[in-house]
């Protein structure tokens, strides 16, 4: 979305000139479906077209490329026309907004007709692509969503397995008690398994949300930074638990190996410092 708005703002005059020229040349003889839908034949970016009478009531159904919304005929549109002005240009172009049907960034063009107004909604992504202002491949986008979605689902399955495995270890320890030496080991193993499972699940959820379900067109580093930060935080927690477990095992067995736990704790500390520095630099870059 941000990328589309940025490109549109940069080429706003050219895009609006194209839309006004296109709307100016369109003169449907009637408000019938066939006459209004002829606009779709020449304009790939147009998505919805309908008419409004001089009293600001919709005088035709909303015609999409493959659907018709009959129930919108007769809807009061006076509220929308409070922001429509023809004082400077004979054709009004709205500001970008998210369409209530498609959820995509949209521009609306309003043209005065002899008995009212003609309104057309344009998909901004298709419009910028048509004007060669942005490169976008729909087929590749579908393949990318399929691959990212499949990867996210598989990661989710792995996460669920790890969480269930951790729960299984803990329940097995309660039902079938083991020796005192293994109790702490099994508890920490269960915690580590569940923690890593939650980290992987969070990664899978983020991938599916941002790359499949609610795909946005923000190709900056913000999303990647958040994913990496979350994952590193979960890994740090798991390693911290592992360090604590190592300290307990060494204290119970052999104090001479305590230096190994110390090295592990130093490694976790350096990882925490590195993650903090990365987050600080990332926030400066995106701000």
Alpha-carbon gap, residue 85 to 233, rounded angstroms? 52
Map residue 5 onto helix, strand or coil.
helix
Domains of the chain (ranges plus CATH)?
A: 2-130 (3.30.450.20), 138-286 (no CATH)
Record the pTM. 0.53
- Express each pLDDT in 32-75 by its tens digit: 888 899 999 889 899 999 999 989 999 999 998 888 888 888 88
The sign of the CA dihedral 216, 221, 225, 228 is positive
The sign of the CA dihedral 9, 11, 16, 22 is negative
- Express each pLDDT in 254-275 by its tens digit: 667 777 778 888 888 888 888 8
158, 182 Cβ separation under 8 angstroms: no
Task: Determine which helix (DSSP H) or strand (DSSP E) holds 128, and give its type and residue range.
Answer: helix 124-130
Residue 130, pLDDT above cutoff 60: yes
CA angle, residues 41, 46, 50, in degrees to nearest 5 = 95
How many H-runs (helices) and E-runs (strands) does the chain carry?
Answer: 8, 7
The radius of gyration of the chain's CA atoms, rounded to the nearest angstrom, is 29
pLDDT of residue 52: 93
The mean per-residue pLDDT over the stretch 16-25 comes to 92
pLDDT of residue 219: 46
């Amino acid at each position: 979305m941000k990328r589309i708005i940025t490109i549109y703002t940069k080429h706003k005059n050219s895009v609006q000139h194209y839309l006004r020229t296109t709307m100016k040349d369109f003169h449907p003889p009637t408000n019938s479906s066939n006459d209004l839908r002829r606009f779709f034949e020449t304009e790939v970016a147009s998505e919805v077209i309908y008419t409004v009478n001089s009293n600001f009531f919709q005088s035709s159904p909303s015609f999409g490329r493959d659907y018709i919304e009959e129930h919108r005929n007769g809807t009061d549109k006076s509220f929308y026309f409070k922001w429509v002005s023809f004082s400077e240009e004979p054709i009004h172009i709205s500001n970008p907004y998210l369409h209530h049907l498609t959820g995509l960034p949209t521009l609306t063009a309003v043209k005065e007709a002899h008995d009212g107004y003609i309104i057309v909604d344009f998909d901004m992504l298709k419009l910028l692509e048509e004007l060669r202002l942005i490169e976008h491949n729909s087929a590749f986008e579908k393949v990318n969503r399929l691959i990212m979605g499949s990867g996210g689902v598989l990661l989710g399955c792995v996460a669920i397995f790890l969480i269930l495995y951790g729960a299984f270890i803990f329940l097995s320890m309660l039902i079938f008690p083991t020796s005192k030496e293994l109790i702490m080991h099994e508890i920490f193993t269960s915690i580590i398994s569940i923690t890593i499972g939650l980290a992987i699940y969070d990664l899978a959820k983020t991938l599916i949300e941002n790359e499949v379900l609610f795909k946005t067109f923000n190709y900056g580093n913000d999303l990647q930074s958040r994913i990496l930060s979350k994952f590193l935080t979960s890994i740090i927690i798991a390693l911290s638990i592992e360090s604590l477990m190592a300290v307990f095992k060494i204290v119970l067995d052999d104090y001479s190996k305590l230096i190994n736990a110390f090295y592990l704790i130093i490694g976790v500390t350096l990882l925490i410092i590195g993650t903090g520095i990365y987050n600080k630099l990332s926030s400066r870059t995106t701000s």
